[in-house]
Amino acid sequence: MDVRTIGHWCDGAAWSGTSARSAAVTDPATGEVSGRVLLAGRSDAEVVIAAAVRAAAGWRRASLATRSKVLFRFRELVDARKEELAAIITAEHGKTLDDALGEVSRGLEVVEFACGIGHLQKGEFSEQASTGIDVHSKRQPLGVVGIISPFNFPAMVPMWFFPIAIATGNAVVLKPSEKDPGASLWMAQQWREAGLPDGVFNVLQGDKVAVDALLDSPDVASISFVGSTPIARYVYERASAAGKRVQALGGAKNHMVVLPDADLDLVADSAVNAAFGSAGERCMAVSVLVAVGPIVDTVIGKLQDRLAGLRVGDGRSGCDMGPLITREHRDKVASYITAGVEAGAKLVVDGRDVSVPGDGFFLGPTVFDQVTPEMSIYTDEIFGPVLSVVRVETYEQAVDLVNSSPYGNGVALFTTDGGAARRFEEEVQVGMIGINVPVPVPIAAYSFGGWKSSLFGDTHAHGAEGVRFFTRLKVVTSRWPDPSVAPSRGLELAFPTHA
């Protein structure tokens, strides 16, 4: 296999930087090294940030119509070539091609939302707020914004942020995950072809060194981070201390609560899709199924039936589930299975039995029953294909369990009782709720984000919150001298009041 070098994108062109460090990029389905990604040093970061600073000065003055046209062109190019992008994602991440295409189309939703920037970035106007005085507000771009993304959605997560950042007149420095950096460069090329001025969209490849350079740079106005909770907390604290606006989305442990009146076939299909899609490497994956009352054995039987036919293999081969991202991560997830057995949970389906030819990082779907809240398979975000079933007797116990979690990203309730669903929406302390919907990722016009340790900062991604995050508010109070309306009142040193 050819080993490519994956570098940065600076000022509208591929760029190698000066750092001598690099890291291997592997094909998780074969275990082969397919490329080496350059890891930026501080001076590389400074060069890329400087290019963004130069470009931001011009782009903030581009008309709304110009920005919107570039976004429409970007949308058309990515949509027409989405198979190319999906193939890059599958080759570096391992998820199935269908799943990768789904990720691209959910990312494109945000581009489509941002195409309406002419409507989204409007200010307000109050005529005659005081006699002869008008007031209006405007939202202006921040300047250079930093985006730091995780491995599990190399196209969609950056697209939660950069379409809105660019539409609102900012320049972007994206620091993708070093595990699957290819998608970012492909998207950069589409931006260039779409007519985005050089330097408005840049990619800085790297690890902690590149992240810290963005967090510390006085020229970077904001940070949008998505990744694990410990790093999200670190990024939030360090970037806030440097005076930046920060949104830092962290990890998750999502529960799916099943009431006794639920449609149990829908429950089983939904649990399998949400727990094992993308091999469980989704921040909205269901990792805990909370079965209320006597339905649990029926649910487990239905899960077993479905899992018996699930095909695990190379994501390009038309299977249902691909490999995990790295060998180390696969081994870590497998060690959680061992820990669950040792802690006394009942292993119903053992993913360690899966056999796929070659040296890929495979692990099959795993289901535990009789999991209790002190076990590590319950407390920890495993980020792999492991579903824990917890048995409770009542609705109240189920809600207590969900609300005791330090995370609050997503949750789902399965029921046919509208009153119970309404009460659940009201009581549960989680940012995104699905009612008979297992992966309740909001559409682009709403905002994505969790509560508690799943999000640091107060702004969620995309939707109206995204527009607010990437713009700064100004309010202008103006009087145009016109003696017939409001003659000057001369010297008046008291605090101004309205007339």
Residue 454 binds ligand NAD, judged by CB under 6 A: yes
Element (H, E) at 247: strand 245-249
Residue 283 binds ligand NAD, judged by CB under 6 A: yes
Smallest distance, Å, CB 391 to ligand NAD?
25
- What tokens were used for 189? 């090329």
CA separation (Å) from 138 to 141, 196, 222, 358? 10, 24, 19, 58
Q: Compute the C-alpha angle 481/484/490, nearest 5°.
A: 55
List the one residue from 226, 259, 262, 291 that touches ligand NAD (CB under 6 A).
226
List the one residue from 181, 197, 227, 277 that touches ligand NAD (CB under 6 A).
227
Report the distance separating Cα 237 and Cα 106, nearest Å: 30
Smallest distance, Å, CB 30 to ligand NAD?
21
List the one residue from 10, 45, 167, 249 that touches ligand NAD (CB under 6 A).
249
Residue 119 binds ligand NAD, judged by CB under 6 A: no
Beta-carbon count within 10 A of 128 CB:
11
Options 171-179, 180-188, 239-247, 330-338: segment touching ligand NAD (CB under 6 A): 171-179
Among positions 39-58, residues that touch ligand NAD (CB under 6 A) are none
Beta-carbon count within 10 A of 232 CB:
25
Report the distance separating Cα 395 and Cα 14, nearest Å: 55
Structural contact between residues 333 and 386, judged by C-beta atoms closer than 8 angstroms: yes
Report the distance separating Cα 120 and Cα 138, nearest Å: 11
| Residues sharing a CB contact under 8 Å with residue 284, sequence separation 6 or more, in sequence order | 252, 254, 274, 409, 410, 432, 439, 440, 441
- Residue nearer to ligand NAD on the CB measure, 164 or 299: 164
List the one residue from 140, 228, 326, 436 that touches ligand NAD (CB under 6 A).
228
Residue 217 binds ligand NAD, judged by CB under 6 A: no
- What tokens were used for 267? 């429950």
Q: Which residue(s) pair with 5 in the sheet? A: 36
List the one residue from 76, 112, 207, 263 that touches ligand NAD (CB under 6 A).
207
Options 60-68, 144-152, 309-317, 466-474: segment touching ligand NAD (CB under 6 A): 144-152
Of these residues, 10, 115, 283, 319, which one is catalytic?
283
Report the half-sphere exposure of 88 (CA within 13 A, side-chain side). Answer: 22
Options 46-54, 247-255, 267-275, 487-495: segment touching ligand NAD (CB under 6 A): 247-255
List the one residue from 250, 323, 351, 463 that touches ligand NAD (CB under 6 A).
250
Element (H, E) at 270: helix 264-276
Residue 150 binds ligand NAD, judged by CB under 6 A: yes
What is the residue whose two structure tokens read 């039987």? Answer: 301
Residue 208 binds ligand NAD, judged by CB under 6 A: yes
Q: Which residue(s) pair with 432 in the sheet? A: 410
Residue 409 binds ligand NAD, judged by CB under 6 A: yes
Residue 436 binds ligand NAD, judged by CB under 6 A: no
- Residue nearer to ligand NAD on the CB measure, 37 or 337: 37
Smallest distance, Å, CB 464 to ligand NAD?
18
List the one residue from 113, 161, 361, 383 that touches ligand NAD (CB under 6 A).
383
222 backbone dihedrals φ, ψ, rounded to 5°: -150, 160
189 backbone dihedrals φ, ψ, rounded to 5°: -65, -35
Decide if 283 is catalytic: yes
Options 20-28, 40-48, 149-157, 346-354: segment touching ligand NAD (CB under 6 A): 149-157
List the one residue from 11, 92, 178, 369 that touches ligand NAD (CB under 6 A).
178
- Continuous H helices in 139-181: 156-167
List the one residue from 92, 180, 381, 465 that touches ligand NAD (CB under 6 A).
381
Residue 121, classed as helix, strand or coil, is coil
Q: Which position's Cβ is nearest ligand NAD?
A: 227
Residue 177 binds ligand NAD, judged by CB under 6 A: yes
Report the half-sphere exposure of 384 (CA within 13 A, side-chain side). Answer: 30
Residue 335, classed as helix, strand or coil, is helix
Q: Which residues bind ligand NAD (CB under 6 A)?
A: 148-153, 157, 175, 177-178, 207-208, 211, 226-228, 231, 249-252, 283, 381, 383, 409, 450, 454
The catalytic residue positions are 283
